[in-house]
Amino acid sequence: MGTDGTVRRVVVTGMGLVSPLGHDVASSWEAMLAGRSGGGPVTLFEATEEFACRIACEVKDFDPLDYIERKEVKRYDRVSQFAVAAAAQALEAAGLEGVPEGEDPKRYGVIFGSGIGGIATFEEQHRRFLEGGPRRVSPFFIPMFIPDMSAGYISMRWNLQGPNYATVSACASSAHAIGDAMRHIRHGDADVMVAGGAEATITPMTFAGFSAMKAMSTRNDDPAGASRPFSADRDGFVMGEGAGALVLESLEHALERGAPILAEIAGYGLSADAYHITAPPPDGYGAQNAMRMALAYAGAAPEEVDYVNAHGTSTMADAIETHAIKEVLGPHAYETVVGSTKSMTGHLLGAAGALEAIVCVQACRDGKIPPTINFTGPDPACDLNYAHDGMVERPVSLALTNSFGFGGHNVCLAIRRWEG
């Protein structure tokens, strides 16, 4: 609560991004607006023909030494390298090099999600264990593997002593992180939060597992065109990797220090399907509940929504999400642009929500909505405006972004343009 007893508004004052399309927000955003695909053959491991899926949206040419000292890098799994890089960018953009002199570090916190955590470290250490026994396992194995360590590294690096934890809810992880961080600020637990998520799961075991579920695209001869949300012939998602971070701040605190205000986190909806371990219910009632809750939280009517950044994974669930959007927005759904940036970035799993929240902030700021690329033909069940013809220029006052995870986790964030 604010000093006068009112619920505090929460704004975004900095953002950072490491994605398959670029190593920062500006380059990734430019690539999205241009409709560029981050897809290509897997290079991070030897993807032989035994793997049904051999394509991914990898982060290319990333150098962790740009953000982490050489002696420390070997103690960071790739997932935490991405996380610290994104957080460093976000804090710099917010004009914060840490907790300003004279402020209480307990008022600064971190919530950073990951669906899987340091799986590459787990696989490598398991290989060492099988080949050489227990003594070959690194003392850094557990700290490198556990999903909360990115949040820990960020808090230690910048002395952020407030609320600090990781959200682990599959592909909803970083959206939960942003929503929870917003709530901590609104209710007075903190003034500033670094929130987001990271994922680095382009590994043999991850690919074997998702392929066994038949969840991933097998268009190995067309990696750039394989992620095709809402198209009739979509056949599964394409794995991505990276991290997104947002600095969230109470409006009062941001104004007091003259921070750049990029957008407002206006609403947060969360729900459970309570239905199936991986599949959403046919009518998407859990997704509907999350979207309705986000709108109510924001005090917004369905007719105010200009853009929905859909979960849109290029799976059969795209039709269920489309139905849910129509149920929530009613006839206005046909006036709203509904897009999936996963057509370009692939699916960043636990980091997807953070990346896509950043997309919504950018859309609100620039009045530009990225396209959904790789459209090959209409699915009658997917009949909304998905920006298949290219980037859409229109004012965006209110955007929704959906994130849904295995286990039936649903999150919707409502992001409002900052009017000053």
Using one digit for the tens of pLDDT, what is the confidence trace for 50-68? 999 999 999 999 999 999 9
% of the chain surpassing 90 pLDDT: 98
pLDDT higher than threshold 70 for residue 4: no
Matching fold, domains 10-256 and 269-417:
yes
d(CA 177, CA 305): 23
Can you tell me the distance from the alpha carbon of 40 to that of 24, in angstroms, rounded to the nearest whole number? 20
d(CA 22, CA 30): 9
| pLDDT value at residue 420 | 80
- Domain residue spans of the chain: 10-256, 269-417
> Using CA atoms, how far apart are residues 173 and 83, in angstroms rounded to an integer?
14
> What confidence tier does 271 reach under pLDDT thresholds 50, 70, 90?
very high
Residue 286 has phi, psi (to 5 degrees) of: -65, -45
In angstroms, rounded to a whole number, what is the distance separating the alpha carbons of residues 244 and 246?
7
Per residue in 212-256, pLDDT (tens digit) is: 999 999 999 999 999 999 999 999 999 999 999 999 999 999 999
Contact 214, 235 (CB under 8 A): no
pLDDT of residue 344: 98
At 113-169, the pLDDT tens digits run 999 999 999 999 999 999 999 999 999 999 999 999 999 999 999 999 999 999 999
The one-character DSSP state at 60 is P
- Catalytic sites, residue numbers: 171, 311, 347
What pLDDT score does 7 carry? 81
Selection from 246, 282, 279 nearest residue 264 by Cα = 246
**CB distance 324 to 288 below 8 Å:** yes
Query: What separation in angstroms does the CA of 83 have from each of 90, 207, 334, 418?
Result: 11, 22, 37, 26
Please report which helix (H) or strand (E) contains residue 324, including its range: helix 317-329
Whether 3 shows a pLDDT value over 60: the answer reads: no
Its CATH class, for the domain covering 10-256, is alpha beta
Q: How confident is residue 1, by pLDDT bands cut at 50, 70 and 90?
A: low
To the nearest whole number, what is the mean pLDDT of the chain?
97
Interval 177-191: pLDDT, tens? 999 999 999 999 999
Q: What angle do CA 249, 338, 18 make, to 5 degrees?
A: 50
- 47 pLDDT more than 90: yes
pLDDT at res. 184 = 98
- Beta strands (DSSP E) in 139-240 are 164-165, 192-199
**Which residues touch 71 (CB under 8 Å, ≥6 apart)?**
none
Q: Are the C-beta atoms of residues 392 and 337 closer than 8 Å to each other?
A: yes
Rounded-to-10 torsion of CA 298, 299, 303, 307? -10
Does the domain made of 269-417 have the CATH classification 3.40.190.10?
no
Which of 369, 173, 183 lies closest to 265 in space, CA to CA?
183
